[in-house]
Structure 1
C-alpha cells in the first residue's frame, strides 16, 4: 500500500496547497480519499483523471469533497473515454457538489454508492470499514486494509473513544488536528487537536501518526510536538510532498 498526500489544509487551501486529499494505491488500484478544494491540480500533477479507480468521501464539507466536481468534468470532457467512477460517500454528502452540473452532463460519469456507519465494503483490493465520528455534519471515519496493511483516517472529528477503535493497531493513523493544544469552545465537540490525535494514536497502538487538516497558518512543528506528548512513534504532517509505504 502506498499513501500519497495531495493536500492537508483545513477549511481552505493555503497558497500553493490543497485541502484534504489522499491517494491510496495497491496492486494497480488507485483510491482518491476525500477530493477537497484544490485537490484536482495536485492529482493531475501525478496522474491523469482516468487513473482514479474509486473515490471515498468522509463527509460533505467542501474542503473534503469540492473537487469531485472538476474531477468528474475532467473525466467526461477529456479525450479519454472512462467508465463510471465509483463514489462511496455517506447518504447525501455529495449531493450539493453533484448538483453544480447538469444531470445530463454527469449522467454516466459516476456510480454513487451510499455507505453507512459500522459497515464493511470491498473497494478493489481494499477492505473498507466505517465508523461514525462526531462532526458538524455526518462524518464517517474510514479504515482501509489490504494485504495486512491498514490505514485509518478520521475525516473531521471531535473527541470520541471510537477513534481509537477505528485505528486499533493500524499501520498509519491519518488524524484530523485542526488545532494544536486547545479547541475553541464552540467546536470542542466537533474538531480535534494535535495533542488529542497523539493520545488516540497511543491508545490505538498505531505504527505512525500523520496529522492533517491543520488550520492555515498553524506552525507544523508545534502540532507535531503537541502530538508527541502522548505518542512515541513517528509523527508526520500531511504536506504535499509526503508519501508513505507502510
Structure 2
C-alpha cells in the first residue's frame, strides 16, 4: 500500500526569525500535497525536500490545502498561481473551505494578479483576470471527505481570529491530522485523535489567545502525545524539555 510521507517545510510562528512559517508537504506515491503555502514557497520546497533526500519543485505539486488566510499560511499563493500558469501551463489546484476561500481573490490576490495579461505582463488592453485564470478551486466540506488524487481530506472549523479549518488527510491507508491555527480546543483534539500522526500548533507555556499553550498539550494522555508533533513554534520555544516532539524542517516522517 506504500507510505504516507510528511516533510515539514516551515515550522515557525508568524514572527519567526529562525524558521520558515507553516508549510508541510505530504506525499503518497508520486502525488504531493502542500498543506498551507507561505512565501517563499519554491525556496522552502527546494531546501526542505533536498534535506529530506527527494528534491521536489512546484511542478510536482498536485494541489495545496489552505487552512486560512493569515499571511504566514498563504502568502505564497501568488507565486504558486503565476508559476502554475506561466511555467507549468495548468491551473494550480486549491483545496479550501468556502468560508476560507470567500475573500481569497478580492482581498488577498487580486491586487497582484488581476491586471496580468496572458504572458504575465501588465497590459491596459488585457481583460481583468480572476481566480479561475490561475487556480482550480475545490471546495472542502465539513460534512464529508473530499477526494483529490489519492488524498481524502476532511475539515473542521478551529477557534481562531479568521475562518480557519483543521484537516484530516488520509492516503495510503494512513491519516495525518493538522490542527492549523487554533486556541486550545479539546473537541478539536478529540476530532484529531484517531489520526496516525497529529501535527498541532503550540505557543510558549502560559501564552494563548488565538493559539494553543504548550502546557495544555503537555497535559494530554501520554499515548496521544506520542502520536503528536508540535509546530508553529516561537523562536524561544524550549524544544529540549518538551514532552512532545517538535517538527524539524527538512526531516522526513513516514506515517
User: What's the TM-score, normalizing by structure 1?
Assistant: 0.83
1:36-51 matches, within 5 Å, as 36-45=38-47, 46-51=55-60
Distance 2:173 2:183 in 1: 28
Unaligned runs of 5+ in 1: 229-234
Task: State the number of aligned residues.
Answer: 227
Q: CA deviation at 1:93?
A: 5.3
Hey, what's the Cα distance between the residues in 1 that align with 2:134 and 2:101? Answer: 18
SS in 2 for 1:53: strand
TM-aligned CA distance change 1:206 to 1:125, over 3 Å = farther
Q: Report the Cα distance in structure 2 between the residues aligned to 1:66 and 1:137, rounded to whole angstroms.
A: 15
Deviations 1:167-207 (A, max 9, x none): 1221111001022x2125xx1xx21022223445x388475
Specify the alignment match of 2:20 in structure 1. Answer: 18
Which residue number in structure 2 is paired with residue 231 of structure 1?
A: none
Q: Distance in 1 between matches of 2:251 and 2:103?
A: 27
How far off is 1:157 after superposition? 0.5
Structure 2 match to 1:65: 74
In structure 2, the partner of 1:27 is 29
Q: Does 1:135 align with 2:174?
A: no
Aligned to 2:120: none
What is the CA–CA distance in structure 1 between the aligned matches of 2:63 and 2:40, rounded to whole Å?
18
Which of residues 3, 6, 25 is equivalent to 1:3?
A: 6
SS of alignment partner, residue 112 of structure 2: coil
- How far apart, CA to CA, are the structure 1 residues paired with 2:46 and 2:115? 25
The alpha carbon displacement at 1:69 in A equals: 1.3
Q: Given the alignment of the two structures, is residue 82 of structure 1 paired with residue 89 of structure 2, yes or no?
A: yes
Deviates more, 1:18-27 or 1:99-108: 99-108
Secondary structure at the aligned position of 1:111 is classed as: strand
Q: Provide structure 2 residue ranges, at least 5 long, that are not aligned to the other structure.
A: 48-54, 117-128
Q: How big is the shift at 1:127?
A: 1.2
Higher RCO structure (Cα 8 Å, ≥6 apart): 2
Task: Quote the RMSD (CA, aligned, Å).
Answer: 2.2
CA contact (8 A) 2:78 2:113 kept: no
Residues 84 and 91, structure 2, Cα contact 8 Å, conserved in 1: no
Residues 65 and 152 from structure 1, CA distance in 2 versus in 1: closer, same or farther, beyond 3 angstroms? same
SS across alignment from 1:83 = coil
**TM-score of the pair, normalised by structure 2:** 0.80
Contact 2:8 2:249 survives alignment (8 Å): yes
